[in-house]
Structure 1
Amino acid sequence: MAQVRKKEAEASEPCPSRAAAAESPGGRELAGSPRLGRAVKFLLPHTTIEAPPPQEEERQFYRRLEQVLGPTQGRFEELFRAQGWADVTEDKSLRKWLVREGHGEASRPQAGQEVTLKLLGVLEDGTLVEKDPKLTFILEQGDVIQALELGVQSMQLGEVSFLLTSFLYAYGHLGRDPDIPSDASLLYEVTLLQIRDSPDLGLLPPSGRISLSKQKRERGNFHFQREEYQQAMHAYQLALRILDSPGAAPPDPEEEEELQEHQVKCLNNCAAAQLKLQRFAEVLASCNAVLHIDPHNVKALYRKGKLLAEWGEDQEAMNVLKRALQLEPSTKAIHAELSKLARRQRGQPERPAPTAMDQPRLQDEPVQPAVGHSAWTDPGGP
C-alpha cells in the first residue's frame, strides 16, 4: 500500500484500539461501540486503510462478553442491579459473574500468596483497556487495583469469572491516562491460573531482589503522582524491606553498590511521601538513613536542613545546608534557605520562597503536581 505523508492527514483519526475492540462476533455490536475498521481521510486522494481484525482470543472474549451482557446491551448501570451476579463487596460496587467453577473451596488463595491471572478488561463502550495473559502479584501488597485484589480472593484455582467494578475499586476519580477516563466502571474477565506461596526473599539473589523492589517503587511512584501518599509510602516501604531482607546471601561489592543505590532512591521517595503526610519525624529518619549510605546526597541534605530550620534548630540546619551548597553551589533553593536562616538570625523579615523550578530534584524521581498539604514545602516529589 502506498505511503501517504502524515501532514496530509486530518487530525481526527480514530483510536485504533477502540476500533479493534469494537467488533462483537455474532453479527451485532456492543452498544455505543465504534465499528470495526477505521477510515482515515486525506485531502487528495481519498484513501481508506482497513484496521487488522481482532485476534481470535479477543473475538472469543467478546462472544462471552456479549452473552454476559445479555439484554442490557452493554449498560453497566443495569448490570450493577441485575440478577445472577454475586456481590463481592457490601456496597454492591464490585460484583462477580461465575463462568466456570474452579477446583473447590480449599483452592482459594490466601493473603500473602502470589497469584497469576489471565486478564481482559473493557470500558462500558466496549474498548479493551486491559489485557495480560500472565499478570502476577502478591495479594494484599497493593500491586493492583482493589477490584482484582478483592475479586481474586473470592475465586478458586482454575475459576473463570467476570468482575464488574465501579470506579471506587478501579482507577477512581482520576482514571488512568490515556485510556481510562475519570469515574470509569470496568468489566474484567479473570482466569485464576496459579497460586503459589510468595517467594522467600532470603533465597533471592541480589538481582532478583532489586527487580522485585523496583516494581514496588514504581507502584509507589504511580500512587504519588495521583496524590495517594499513604499508598505510595506503603509501596516504598515494601520496596525497602525487599532490598534489606534478613538472611539473604551477602552480595559482592558490585551488587552491594547497586543495592545501596536502590535503597537511596526508595528512602528519598519515602521521605517525599512522608512530607505530604506531615510525618516529619519519619522524614528526618528517612533522610538520616539516606545520609548513612550516601553522605553527599543533596536531596536528603536539603530536606533535613529545611526541616531542622522549621524546628528552630538554626545552627544545625545551617551546617547541613552548607554541606548541600558545597555539593551543588548553583542550586537556588539551597541559597534561599541559607539566606532565610541568616535573615532570621538578624531579625529581618523573610522573603518569598523560591518556585518549584528552583528546587533540587533527585534523578529518576516522578514529577508530581504542586499541591500544598502543609506549611513545610516539599522540594519537589519523591
Structure 2
Amino acid sequence: MVVPLEHIADAAESYEDIVGTGALLKKVIKNGNGGRPMDNDVIKISLDYYGLKDSSPNEMTFILGYLLNIEGIELACKFMEVGEEAIFKIKSHLAYGESGLSLDSCNIPPYHDLIVKISLVSIQERQKVFLHSPVNELLVYCQKFRSRGKFYFERNELDRAMFIYNKVLNILGNRSSDKPDANLLVELSIFQNNLATCHFKLNDLKKALEISTAAVFSNPKNIGAMYKHLIILESLKRYDEGISFIQERIVNLPSEKDLLERKLCKFMAYQKEVDDSEREVFKKMMQ
C-alpha cells in the first residue's frame, strides 16, 4: 500500500534539522544502501512536491554543485544515500524565495516553504571532470548552465547567477589556456558578458569593465558583448577608450557599421564636452 505524501509529511514523527538552522528538515521514509553524493557528481533523483497542483513524481538527472536545481534540493541530496527516500521541509530562501515560481504545471507562491519527497535513484557519474570532457559534451553542459544562470538573473537572484557564471568561467578558462577551441571561446565570451552584466546591474562598474574587456577579447565577434562594453565605458565616462574601441570594431565588423558610426558620433560629442570643460578650467587657472 502506497501512503500518500501528505500523510507522510504531516505525520507526528520528528524531522532532523540537518543544517542546524531550521532551514532544511529531513525525515527518512526508506533507508538507502549506497554512498552519499558530493559536488560534481551526476545524480538521478525522483522529486515529488507536496501541496502543489499536478505534483506527480518527476525524475531528473543533473550535476551537483552548479545550482541546476534549487539550493534546498541540491543540499538535501548531499544528505542522502543511494536508494534512500526522504521527506524534506525547505524554507523559502532555499527554494523560490520572494519571487515564487509560476509555470504551466506548477505555481509556487512567494515566500512559500516547500515540502518535497526525494528519492535518490543513483549516482550516475562520480566527480565529473570537465577539464577532460569532450568539447561537444562540455558545450551541452554550457547550454544548461547558461539557461540556469539566465533563470536566476531574470529573478534578480544575481548572487546565484554569478555563482554559476564564475564556476563555468573557471572551467572554460582552464580549457582555453593551452589550445583554445573556437567553440569554447565563443562560450567563454558569452559567460564573461553575462557576468559583466551582473556586475553592471550591481553598479560595480570597474569589475564590469574588467570582465567585459575579457569578453570582447575572447570573441571579438560577440555583438552583445561589444555593445555591453560600450555601455560600461559610457557609464564610466571613458569616452576616449570608447572611441578607439568603436573605430577598431567598425573595421572588423562591417555589418554593424551604421550603428557603430552613430555610437562613435555620440562618444566624440561626449569627449568634446569633456575637452571643452577641461580647457575652461585650465583657462581659469592661468588667469
Query: TM-score range with shorter-chain normalisation?
Result: 0.7 to 0.9
Counterpart residue type for residue 135 of structure 1: T
Q: CA deviation at 1:260?
A: 2.5
* Residues 1:118 and 2:46 aligned together: yes
Hey, what's the Cα distance between the residues in 1 that align with 2:177 and 2:244?
Answer: 37
Q: CA deviation at 1:236?
A: 1.6
Matches within 5 A, 1:212-227: 212-227=141-156
Asked whether the equivalents of residues 43 and 122 of structure 2 are also in contact (C-alpha less than 8 Å), the reply is yes
* Residues 1:191 and 2:119 aligned together: yes
Q: CA deviation at 1:159?
A: 0.8
Hey, what's the Cα distance between the residues in 2 that align with 1:165 and 1:278?
Answer: 32
Hey, what's the Cα distance between the residues in 2 that align with 1:226 and 1:170?
Answer: 12
Task: Please give the secondary structure, in 1, of the residue aligned with 2:258.
Answer: coil
Q: CA deviation at 1:213?
A: 1.6
Q: Deviations over 1:120-166 (max 9, x none)?
A: 113x3x4234743233222x332221211221122122111011223
Asked whether the equivalents of residues 209 and 243 of structure 1 are also in contact (C-alpha less than 8 Å), the reply is no
Q: Indicate the residue corresponding to 1:127 in structure 2.
A: 53
Q: Indicate the residue corresponding to 2:172 in structure 1.
A: 243
Asked whether the equivalents of residues 318 and 338 of structure 1 are also in contact (C-alpha less than 8 Å), the reply is yes
Task: Please give the secondary structure, in 2, of the residue aligned with 1:346.
Answer: helix
Q: Indicate the residue corresponding to 2:218 in structure 1.
A: 293
Hey, what's the Cα distance between the residues in 2 that align with 1:250 and 1:323?
Answer: 26
Q: CA deviation at 1:317?
A: 2.5
2:82 to 143, 149, 157: 157
Q: Deviations over 1:200-234 (max 9, x none)?
A: 22332110011112211211111111112122122
1:171–1:332 distance in 2 versus 1, CA, 3 Å: farther
1:344–1:303 distance in 2 versus 1, CA, 3 Å: farther
Could you tell which deviates more after superposition, 154-163 or 107-116? 107-116
Higher relative contact order (CA 8 A, sep 6+): 2
Number of residue pairs the alignment of both structures matches: 269
Hey, what's the Cα distance between the residues in 2 that align with 1:199 and 1:173?
Answer: 33
2:160 to 231, 238, 241: 231
Q: CA deviation at 1:167?
A: 1.4
Q: CA deviation at 1:190?
A: 0.7
Counterpart residue type for residue 80 of structure 2: M
Hey, what's the Cα distance between the residues in 2 that align with 1:264 and 1:187?
Answer: 39
Q: Indicate the residue corresponding to 1:259 in structure 2.
A: 184
* Residues 1:320 and 2:248 aligned together: no
* Residues 1:137 and 2:67 aligned together: no
Task: Please give the secondary structure, in 1, of the residue aligned with 2:60.
Answer: strand
2:200 to 275, 280, 293: 275
Q: Deviations over 1:38-75 (max 9, x none)?
A: xxxxxxxxxxxxxxxxxxxxxx5xx431431457xxxx
Hey, what's the Cα distance between the residues in 1 that align with 2:134 and 2:195?
Answer: 24
Structure with more of its chain in helix, by fraction: 2
Hey, what's the Cα distance between the residues in 1 that align with 2:226 and 2:177?
Answer: 30
Identify unmatched segments of 5+ residues in structure 2: 279-287
Task: Please give the secondary structure, in 1, of the residue aligned with 2:81.
Answer: coil
TM-score normalised according to structure 2 size: 0.79
Q: CA RMSD in A?
A: 3.2
1:307–1:330 distance in 2 versus 1, CA, 3 Å: closer
Q: CA deviation at 1:310?
A: 4.6
Hey, what's the Cα distance between the residues in 2 that align with 1:116 and 1:333?
Answer: 52
Q: Indicate the residue corresponding to 2:16 in structure 1.
A: 86
Q: Deviations over 1:293-317 (max 9, x none)?
A: 3334444344434444554543223
1:95 to 5, 25, 33: 25
TM-score normalised according to structure 1 size: 0.61
Hey, what's the Cα distance between the residues in 2 that align with 1:191 and 1:248?
Answer: 40
Asked whether the equivalents of residues 212 and 242 of structure 1 are also in contact (C-alpha less than 8 Å), the reply is no
Task: Please give the secondary structure, in 2, of the residue aligned with 1:128.
Answer: coil
1:213–1:203 distance in 2 versus 1, CA, 3 Å: same
Hey, what's the Cα distance between the residues in 1 that align with 2:177 and 2:82?
Answer: 31
Asked whether the equivalents of residues 98 and 111 of structure 2 are also in contact (C-alpha less than 8 Å), the reply is yes
* Residues 1:108 and 2:36 aligned together: yes
